[in-house]
Structures are given as structure tokens and as C-alpha cells.
Amino acid sequence: MAGRPRDERARNAILRRAADIASKDGLEGLSIGRLAADLGVSKSGLFGYFGSKEELQLATIRAATGVYLGEVVHPALTVPPGLGRVWQLCDRWLSYSERRVFPGGCFFFTVTAEFDARPGRVRDTVAAAGLEWNRLVASTVDDARRLGELAEDTEPDQLAFELIAFMETANAVSLLHDAPVAYQRARSAIRRCLRAAATDAATPPWPDPAAQTRAEGER
């Protein structure tokens, strides 16, 4: 029994490294041999944890999901339902990508592009994670609509699609062109999109960019 926590810690460390690699090189870039070399451990030891490349890939997705939930979803859900929670989901996602929690940006953006046309267990797991995220954003938008903070004719799935598109574009542009300004542009686009749908009863939950600029100039 005493060895189990140590084994679990070792397994978690292996999977965190695997997720970092996959965020840049994709899940096909993972191998037990590569991980063993990176971590300075034996291939036989790693094989005992996972048994096959596919099991390693699936375990890596689960590990990345845990990081994603901790960085994006759980903090946003501490905010009461409404426009504030919608904004927090978007802002936390952009921060997670911008801070390179995974060195290749959003882990799921990378592996979705890699497996979107490849049938199998890995694709199904990646697709399920993406669908769950889309549903969460849409349901959060719908909560804000029901609370009267977004217009009654707001279509949750459509607005969620647009918000996610802004986020994913920032991730892709920042990586491809080494352009951190993409995150500022995405936040501006999301604010504009939410303002257009917000009702007079809604209090804008985002910081005022002009006020922030003035405050920075006064320091």
C-alpha cells in the first residue's frame, strides 16, 4: 500500500510530460520510448503503466482534461450564473492559452485538428471533450439569457460557436505568428459580441480597456 501514492505521483508526472509533448507534436508524437528518454526512466517501467500507445494517448487526454478543468472551468463556475460567468469562461480560456499552461497552447486545439478525421477510440474521446466544452459554453449563455442579461432572442448554440471561434483563432494566430496581440483582439471581439447581445439590465463584467490604459499611464 505504501508504494501506491508514489506510483500515482510518478504516473501523474509522466502524463503531465506527455500532455506537454502532445500539445506541440500531437498525440502521435507520443511514444513510450520518447517519454522514457525524456524522463530518464526505463521503457519497461513506462510500459507497465500503460501497456500500449493508444492507452498512453487516452490517459494523456484524461490528464489534460484535469488540467483544463482546473485552469478554465472550475474557476469560472465560482462566478454566479449570468453574463459574468460567460465572460469568465472566455477570459479564463484565453488566459490558459496565453500563459502556455501547455507549451503548445491549447492541448485540445492541437489534438482535435490531429484526430478530427481519424476514426477510433482516441478520436471519440477528443470529440466528447470538445462537445462537452461546447455544451458548457452554450448552457452558460442560456443561463444568462434566462436571467435577462442577454436578449431573449439570443441563440445559445450560435453565440457559443462565435465565442469559441474567437478563442481558438487567438490560440492559432498567437502560435503561428508569435503574436500575443491576438489575445487582446479576441477579448475585444468577445466584449463587442456580448455587448451586442446584452440587455440594459446587465452589468458589464469585463474591465474597461480605456480605464486600464489610463491607470497604467498614471503609474
Per-residue pLDDT tens over the stretch 141-155: 999 999 999 999 999
Summarised one tens digit per residue, pLDDT across range 190-200 is 999 999 999 99
Q: Residue 39: which pLDDT band, with cuts at 50, 70 and 90?
A: confident
* Structural domains present in the chain: 67-218 (1.10.357.10)
Q: Distance between CA atoms of 65 and 106, rounded to whole angstroms?
A: 11
Report pLDDT for 4: 57
Report pLDDT for 6: 59
List, in order, residues 6 or more apart from 86 with CB less than 8 Å away.
137, 140, 141, 144, 150, 163, 194
Q: Distance between CA atoms of 47 and 65, rounded to whole angstroms?
A: 22
Q: Radius of gyration over alpha carbons of the chain, in Å?
A: 20
Q: Residue 181: which pLDDT band, with cuts at 50, 70 and 90?
A: very high
The DSSP symbol for 71 reads I
Q: Is residue 2 over pLDDT 80?
A: no
5 or 41: which carries more pLDDT confidence?
Answer: 41
* Contact of 182 with 94, CB cutoff 8 Å: no
Average pLDDT over residues 18-29: 95
Burial of 210 (0-12, 13-18, 19+ CB in 10 A): exposed
Q: Distance between CA atoms of 27 and 34, rounded to whole angstroms?
A: 12
Task: Please report, as a single letter, which amino acid is at residue 51.
Answer: G
Q: Residue 216: which pLDDT band, with cuts at 50, 70 and 90?
A: very low
Summarised one tens digit per residue, pLDDT across range 63-81 is 999 999 999 999 999 999 9
- b/e burial code for range 69-78 (CB count within 10 A of at least 16 → b): eebbbebbbe
Q: Is residue 217 over pLDDT 90?
A: no
Report pLDDT for 5: 58
Report pLDDT for 148: 97
Question: What integer best gives the mean pLDDT of the chain?
Answer: 91
The DSSP symbol for 78 reads T
Average pLDDT over residues 14-27: 95
Q: Residue 163: which pLDDT band, with cuts at 50, 70 and 90?
A: very high
Query: Rounded to two decimals, what is the model's pTM?
Result: 0.90
Q: Residue 38: which pLDDT band, with cuts at 50, 70 and 90?
A: confident
The rounded percent of the chain whose pLDDT value lies above 90 is 74
| Three-state DSSP class for residue 186 | helix
Report pLDDT for 177: 98
Closest CA to 88 of 212, 215, 187: 187
